[in-house]
Amino acid sequence: MSSASIQETMPVTDHGTVGSALSIRGLRRTFVRRDGQHVTAINGVDLEVAAGEVVVLLGPSGCGKTTLLRAVAGLEVPDSGQIALGERTVFDADGRKVLNVPTEKRHLSMMFQSYALWPHMTVFDNVSYPLRMRHAPRAGIRERVEAALQRADIAQLGREYPQQLSGGQQQRVALARAIVDESPIILFDEPLSNVDAKVRTELRLQLIALQQRLGYAGLYVTHDQVEAMEVGHRIAVMEAGRIAQIGAAAEIYDRPATRYVANFIGAVNELTGTLASVGPDATVDTPLGRFAVARDSLWEGLSVGDEVVVIFRPESARIVDAATTGENLVHGTVVRALYAGTHAEVFVRVADRELRVWAGTESSPQAGEQVAVSVPHERVRLVPPEGSA
Amino acid sequence: MAVVAPGAARAARRRRSGPPIRSTPFQFTLTTVSLIAAGFALYPLARVFFAFFIVDGQIDLSAFAAVFQVRDVGQIIVDTVSIVFVSGAIALVVGAVLAWLEERTDASLGPIGRALPILPFLVPPIATGIGWLLLFQPTVGIGNTFIRNFLDALGIHLESGPFNVASWWGLVLVLAFVHVPYSYMIVSSGLRNMDGAMEEQSRVSGAGVFRTLVWVTLPGIRNSLGSAALLLVFFGFADYAIPVVIGTAADIEVISMRVVQLMTASYPPEIGAAIALSMVGVAFVVSFWLLQRWLLQSRRFFAIGGRAQSAAIIRLGVWRWPARALSITFILITSFLPLVGLLIVALHGYWSGSIDPANFSLQSFEAVLVNDPFSVKSIQNSLFLAVTGATIGVIVAALAVQFAAQRSDRFRAAVDGIIKAPATVSIIIVTIGIILAFSGPPFALGGTLAILLIGYLVVYMPQATVTIESSVAQVSGELSEASTVSGASPWNTWTKVVVPLILPGLVTGWTLLFVRMVSDLTASAMLAGPGTSVIGFRILSVYNNGSYGTLAALCLFVTLVTTIVVIAMQVVTGAMNRRWRGGGTTKVARTARATPHSDHVEKELTAR
């Protein structure tokens, strides 16, 4: 799949710093299950994280995102490939002898899903631990820990034990421990998945602000697309051990490269068809008629007659009067219209399928109404059908 | 201590294929200690195996014929089997009833019920056995005399009795009493793990308390009942303390008594016959185990769900207080009455039917602790061995558990299995193995304290290993990983994160080992000698030809030591847990989830 390759140029972040914080090349990891079956958790991943950049690994459980993160931490040993942190290669299975720098010598920080706070240590001892273990100058430890606690908004909790804190406070302790050592890169393993929705939003915003202020690079694993879009400068959508697509949130959302990516982030309408023309107006014949599609969604090697999938998002389409005619218009019957606060989710039956369209709550049609669905061609994109690559 | 993070299971699964194990001095220590421990466990068992099953390099069961040379072998086997199964059945029923009352009804016993599982650790079985004998020997039993005097006042005159503990039934009942805590423990944990909704559904569907019990509760805990029965049979064949006291008085001989006799009464010991006879017991246990497995697998009624809901409490109405009174009486009588008998005889200094507070003195205690050099030496030896053994055992077990937990490969699984193997064989057979392995050349440790120490460690360390293992399993893998990511070496991670977190488990393990070693009878009976006497050995020799005052004082002394140590342990681990849990237990439950202790050994020792 062409989209699986990495971006050639390094993006310039908010800080304008350019340079690599993490570089992964050709990483592969296969597990042998108890029944003898081989499971490929990471299947040839290349990834660059620039200094000061946060890259989110997004995907369903089992897609290999956590294995990839743990491989960077050294908690998992890949079968082949290379990992470099900054200028320093920490794993290289491609040379004659496998180089594998142990986790404790990789000098990185990690925030665990369970927080992994040590219950027998106070908050202060938890946060100072990385400094003590790395033999930081004794004199500066107290100051640095207090600064980290301050940044995580828990300056007053140093003497408490983790169990005396709320979930959100525990999360902040874990955050303080991750930033205290000023590691150039922090790994996040679904750090917000264990707190309730309100605290999660609050912490997410704080995490973003903190990252902008401290400028660390991050590799961030999540299965929550909203979190991914907000936290990450770039998102790497993972599928079965590979990166299906990597790019900024808007790029992934607006220009998904595959059906998988389109479906994983947001809702989507899909129509299988054949490419009818590739001229200035690219068109596709679908069971619901001919669709004009965005010209830039065509890929190299595509020719008229090829099977393709037409996709568009519910919010790209509009409900219009049944009498309307024009480009990319299909007629159908409203099956149901669900009120969703910010919009109405309208299901329109066209021939034997249902399209999802978001309508304004005030202009929402009623069930049974005859309507037309219109979608501008620049919002209609093509992706390859499943199985082809 | 139970800190389990939500991702623990996942992390634990992942650790199988975790980072490579580097050769550090710490790693070298882990591997070396584990291999040495496995060697000490395997070698004695192998010696027994080769001595018995291998003749001229061939597997051969002809050594089994030695069993026919044992005098009265038929009678011994018949007596043993009948006593084991009848006492086991009684212990199972009583334990299950007590457990049901405690877990499911409003007749629960409160602190007394909660203390039941730790009673076997407070009072050594030998003390219980001797206590019962002092109370209910037919002619001079203190309890019997007391009852006869009472009946005399009512105009009923008896020459002896009314009870006779020195009988087949006496042996059966005392064995059953001693084993009730074990069946209680297993059945009550089965009841706790069973989803109470099943019973509620039955009640809702119109079944009464009794029909629910028969059709839902009992089938639901059949696995627990099966394990309890198996454990009772295993203990029944292995038990030596109660038979040697009561069986001897009743002139009834069981397998364990004869095996010890074959090993100790003549020189050289009749090892072949001893092993052959113990194998008869093993054969019964294995057959019972196969039968139990077949019964439990053939019909599977319930798949018991993950997190069990507690069941609604059954109101017993008018039966509540009778039920409660009966169970409290049972527990008090079986645990404290024997101690009363011991105390009276120890204070009297001799054993007669009468109780005369005017003659009470502390002379027996003085004798045991100061004046009788053999007893004093035995107590010193036992305390030294128990403290040394428990300390070495806990350290070795902690290292071996760490070694086994590093990753799951066949090598580690094998080492782990070998270290635990002695727990699956009766103490008597393991001890015979220890004698075969270490008493003769090249080690020539016969008649030294060293062979006792090795014997205790091999026999009892598996119990500490299991306790520590369950502690380690409760520590989330992410807690160690977070330490590694923070830059800590494996040694630092172990000492600063793992060990502090499993400390309550280590304390429990130490206590378990100390109690077992200080009150050991079976291994001591065969491994100790006049020059290396220990408490258990001394109790046996005083029982055979000494003063009952001294005997009672010795038994009470051991009981006092074990009770103090167990209670101190409870206080210490309780304080540790409170400190970390802090005030916010509900928050702990949500975030760093606190789970109930899964391991039965811990349950034995920690009150709920």
d(CA B522, CA B129): 14
A331: nearest Cα among A369, A294, A283: A369
Q: What is the average pLDDT across A240-248?
A: 92
Q: What is the pLDDT of residues B123-173, one digit of tens each?
A: 888 888 889 988 888 888 888 888 888 888 887 877 777 888 888 998 999
Chain position carrying tokens 């029965």: B229
Residue type, A2: S
The share of chain B scoring above pLDDT 70, in percent, equals 88
Asked which of A8-12, A38-42, A337-341, B178-182 is least confident by mean pLDDT, the reply is A8-12
Q: What is the average pLDDT across B581-585?
A: 42
d(CA B38, CA B512): 20
Look up residue B437 and give its two tokens. Answer: 């392995």
Contact between B592 and A163 using a beta-carbon 8 Å cutoff: yes
Residue B22 clears pLDDT 80, i.e. is over it: no
Residue B397 clears pLDDT 90, i.e. is over it: yes
Where are the alpha helices (H) located in chain A, listed in sequence order? 65-73, 123-133, 138-151, 167-179, 197-214, 225-231, 249-254, 259-264
Q: For testing the chain A interface, which of B591, B593, B595 should be mutated: the one with the most A CBs within 10 Å?
A: B591
d(CA A7, CA A5): 7
Residue B319: the pLDDT is 84
Residue A1 clears pLDDT 70, i.e. is over it: no
What is the band of B602 on the pLDDT scale with cuts at 50, 70, 90? Answer: very low
Contact between B486 and A177 using a beta-carbon 8 Å cutoff: yes
Look up residue B431 and give its two tokens. Answer: 């001890």
What is the band of B352 on the pLDDT scale with cuts at 50, 70, 90? Answer: confident
Residue B8: the pLDDT is 36
CA distances from B497 to A152, B353, B486 (A): 24, 59, 12
What is the band of A228 on the pLDDT scale with cuts at 50, 70, 90? Answer: very high
Residue B599 clears pLDDT 60, i.e. is over it: no
Radius of gyration of chain B (CA): 25
Residue A180 clears pLDDT 90, i.e. is over it: yes
Is the N-terminal amide bond of B442 cis, ω within 30° of 0? yes
B334: nearest Cα among B136, B527, B107: B136
d(CA B508, CA B465): 11
Residue B152: the pLDDT is 84
d(CA B104, CA B316): 10
Residue B346 clears pLDDT 70, i.e. is over it: yes
Q: Between B114 and B88, where is the model more confident?
A: B88
Whether residue B581 lies within 8 A of chain A, CB to CB, comes out as yes
Cβ-Cβ contacts under 8 Å, B19 against chain A: 74-77, 100, 102-103
Helix (H) or strand (E) holding A292: strand A289-292
Task: Count A/B contacts: CB-CB distance under 8 Å.
Answer: 130
The two counts, helices (H) then strands (E), for chain A are 8, 21
Residue A148 clears pLDDT 50, i.e. is over it: yes
Q: What is the pLDDT of residues A68-91, one digit of tens each?
A: 999 999 988 899 999 999 889 999
Mean confidence (pLDDT) of chain B: 81
Residue type, B568: A
Whether residue B27 lies within 8 A of chain A, CB to CB, comes out as no
Q: What is the pLDDT of residues A282-329, one digit of tens each?
A: 899 999 888 999 888 888 888 888 999 999 999 999 888 888 877 888
Q: What is the average pLDDT across A38-57?
A: 92
Separation in Å, CA of B23 to nearest CA in chain A: 12
- Taking a C-beta distance cutoff of 8 angstroms, is the pair A123, A159 a contact? yes
Contact between A110 and B485 using a beta-carbon 8 Å cutoff: yes
Residue B391 clears pLDDT 90, i.e. is over it: yes
Q: What is the pLDDT of residues B534-559, one digit of tens each?
A: 998 888 888 888 788 888 888 999 99
Look up residue B191 and give its two tokens. Answer: 């009841």
Asked which of A16-20, B208-212, B531-535 is least confident by mean pLDDT, the reply is A16-20
* Burial environment of residue A57 by CB neighbours within 10 A (0 to 12, 13 to 18, 19 or more): buried
d(CA A252, CA A262): 8
Contact between A163 and B497 using a beta-carbon 8 Å cutoff: no
Residue B604: the pLDDT is 34
- The DSSP output letter for A7 is P
- Taking a C-beta distance cutoff of 8 angstroms, is the pair B465, B394 a contact? no
Contact between B478 and A73 using a beta-carbon 8 Å cutoff: no
B254: nearest Cα among B175, B191, B179, B331: B175
Contact between A109 and B481 using a beta-carbon 8 Å cutoff: no
What are the residues facing B314 on neighbouring strands? Answer: B105
Contact between B587 and A167 using a beta-carbon 8 Å cutoff: yes
| Strand ranges in B41-146 using DSSP code E only, listed in sequence order | 54-55, 58-59
